[in-house]
Structure 1
């Protein structure tokens, strides 16, 4: 009996060894392989995963991403997606606004002003640098006092009197001393009447930087409206979100009038979509739906007003919708046909996802290879704090960098699939051989024990 137990234990050990050997992953197990180049000080390297490469994955959560060294040994790695989630506290603050006047024929863009402020920089009074005669003054813009807000400014919200409907476009400038101004781009708000309904846009995105004062200037040919409210939304964040990565234009289909659909290459956590508006003077309220597969019902993801309008010889375009990052593979846009729609042919669509970085610990000699494209492997990524023991947001930027070599992804699906199939067949043959030998060995030992005469007492 003791011999049988020992033999069974040896057989189990042999089987475990065989299974362990067969479970070792190799580059040939993955449909796509991309050579990497590294720079900077290791041994940790971070790779910003290009979207074109990411779309070769077979699993939505990128569980099939691997990094190998020159010897084909898998490297420990982490997916740095957790730093994209922001932990922030937002605050909406009413701010004071002061008019900026100038003469109608003034050549300078920004009116000269004289200010009176308190010791902490809060504005008390703003006046033109020179006295303007009655009838000459034109309202060119507004000066906003944000000196009481210490957090980065994320959004501007404006309201104005009802006699100025339509689009309001203006430049945004920021300053800390009222002497030196930095451009923050342009802003646009609108109040429209459409099909007996009012559509209003009051919010303008800001770059997420701090400033004590904001200056809003309308075009010289257009006077500014009279503001009735000005609010600034600020946010304090522990980490900044990763930038978005945009896809190439994706062709769509139209099953019936006013409905357009697109099939994404794989399930993706989509953050934004951009719809092509090729025709001028297009205007339509839309609702965007999404789902992971055809057997599931459509779910509403976002809605808004898309338009491409020509005013004063310039196109005013709003063609983006913001999503919550839900995983989808199919998108459907339903258009309110009261605005004329987008025509019978489906417009092209671009989608954006959060940038993902692969951080790996270089072990063994390079060159290193990124591999992905396997629907059966399990997730093998470590938490970033485990991979980099002293990890912090500050030292993340000091890690070495890895990049994809060349513009094209090196992909040989058919060859790799054939090699993987052949390798898998050999693995199966080896496993069955071990099992068969173990059974034969057990049978031989049992037969030998049965043939022995019983031991006499």
Structure 2
């Protein structure tokens, strides 16, 4: 048997099929759908946000079947961008009205006294009394009241100003907060304040930081044995405000699951990168604890996502419901609401889901001539996305590098090739390759078995020859 004659055709067949599968140039007609792109500037790179219709038509859960073609129907390289980070905005400071708090010489700290505010003829007056309502003689400066009632943001620090003193200043203060002037909570128990000058240099510490919190009033005080602090002004600093990336919202009506009481399934129409979920209940005055599950395709088991308590209550002539719930970003198309049976169910009607998501962006190289095209919808197409740092030299994550990349505008999605290409059962090329590879394994196993038989058959004759050659 000529083994080479058997192996050679097999190797050639496998190589031809593999090469044809791997190196066949992809064309727009190989994909079910396409979105045209228009560009305004003359730039090397462009970016585009993927719309909901893309997720609905993509044939892969990871959207790896995306391609970008130029006007010559040639593939151009592209990269995916991660979800944009939330930006933080530094809010300006605000001046706070200050009111000195004076006590008699024999009084201790301010904690044993009552505070009240009155307004008359456009002026504000702060009154200090004992717990039984007796006025306190204003003989010694014991602290200050800062009025923050007009602020709407959480305060994270206060900046104090005072008149310079000969010899400098080194003192410590207590900072407290209250919303009613009766109950006070300590924010900083022993905050240092410094104002020292030496050899033409000044060391100044006039800022007191604390955990950001909304409050109406702040109180500054110090021990009775300590020299009073002569403040001239105070300003409030606010914590950075997080500016959320704008979300798009997709709604889906729940459908009762057959043979499953208190379970409702939602189909978002595509594997959207959802990170916000809101459940709208069908009936007023409902409170429903439930579990939320999700999956990518109907064949997969349900995966727990989170637990929640949804409600829809009548209040003050209107309705109140919980804010959208944050969930870990994931590309699930199908969602399941499993209601706790102890809550009595949802009542009449079906629930509705509102899913919030941030459109993902791609960046592509404008190689060749336009117009450019995003193609998608081919279950056999493996991902060809490059890392963004590979595609764009010197790229670093952040808002500024992204803003420097020109924006490509999207047109309406339209069919390109056979829509059946987006369905798993039409994986002809992959099935053919696997069939050839499996056939190769079978043939190699048969060849090994035949070779083993030949070796075993020749063993007796070889043994006899060895016996004949042995010297007597």
TM-score bucket of the superposed structures, by smaller chain = 0.5 to 0.7
Aligned partner of 1:334 among 333, 338, 343: 338
Q: Equivalents in 2 of 1:159, 1:86: separation in Å?
A: 31
Contact 1:55–1:266 (8 Å) recurs in 2: yes
What residue number does 1:130 align with? 124
Whichever of the two has the greater Rg, that structure is 2
1:12-70 Cα shifts (integer Å, max 9, x gaps): 9x959973895211000110011111233411000011122222111121111111111
- The structure-2 alpha-carbon separation of the partners of 1:381 and 1:116, relative to structure 1 and needing over 3 Å to count, comes to farther
Task: Tell me which residue corresponds to 1:55.
Answer: 56
CA contact (8 A) 1:284 1:337 kept: no
Aligned length: 308
Change (3 A) 1:142 1:67: same
For 2:33 and 2:42, how far apart are their aligned partners in 1?
27
The CA distance in 2 between the partners of 1:313 and 1:140, in whole Å, is 32
8 Å CA contact 1:69, 1:367 repeated in 2: yes
Alignment CA distance shift 1:400-1:270 (3 Å): same
Residues 77 and 364 in structure 2, CA contact (< 8 A), matched pair in contact too: yes
1:20/1:280 Cα in 2 relative to 1: closer, same or farther (>3 Å)?
A: closer
Structure 2 residue 378 is matched with structure 1 residue 374: yes
After superposition, residues 172-321 of structure 1 pair within 5 angstroms as: 243-255=246-258, 256-318=260-322, 320-321=324-325
- 2: CA distance, partners of 1:27 / 1:363: 16
Counterpart Cα distance in 1 of 2:253 and 2:278: 10
| SS at structure 2 position matched to 1:324 | strand
The alpha-carbon deviation at position 214 of structure 1 amounts to: 7.3
Give me the whole-angstrom Cα distance separating, in 1, the residues matched to 2:21 and 2:332: 36
Structure-2 residue corresponding to 1:354:
358
CA distance in 1, matches of 2:34, 2:57: 10
Please say if residues 274 and 332 of structure 2, whose CA atoms lie closer than 8 Å, have aligned partners that are also in contact: yes
State the Cα distance separating 1:253 from its structure 2 match: 2.5
Deviation at 1:72, TM superposition (A): 0.3
1:397-419 CA distances to partner (integer Å, 9 max, x unpaired)?
1111112114xx2125647859x
Residues 78-97 of structure 1: matches in 2 within 5 Å?
78-81=79-82, 83-84=83-84
Give the TM-score normalised by structure 2.
0.53
Distance 1:297 1:417 in 2: 25
Specify the alignment match of 1:121 in structure 2: none
Task: Indicate the SS of the match to 1:249.
Answer: strand
Give matches, 1:382-397, under 5 Å.
382-392=386-396, 393=398, 394-397=400-403
Cα displacement (A) at 1:87: 12
CA shift, 1:86, in A, is: 7.5
CA spacing shift, 1:371–1:308, aligned 2, 3 Å: same
Q: 1:369 offset after TM fit, Å?
A: 0.8
After superposition, the C-alpha distances for 1:168-216 in whole angstroms (9 at most, x for unaligned) are xxxxxxxxxxxxxxxxxxxxxxxxxxxxxxxxxxxxxxxxxxx999767
**CA pair 159-314 structure 1, distance change in 2 beyond 3 A:** farther
Cα distance in structure 1, aligned partners of 2:272 and 2:342: 32
**Partner Cα distance (1:291, 1:20) in 2:** 31
Whether 1:145 aligns to 2:140 is no
| CA spacing shift, 1:213–1:262, aligned 2, 3 Å | closer
TM-align CA RMSD: 4.9
Which residue of the partner structure matches residue 69 of structure 1? Answer: 70
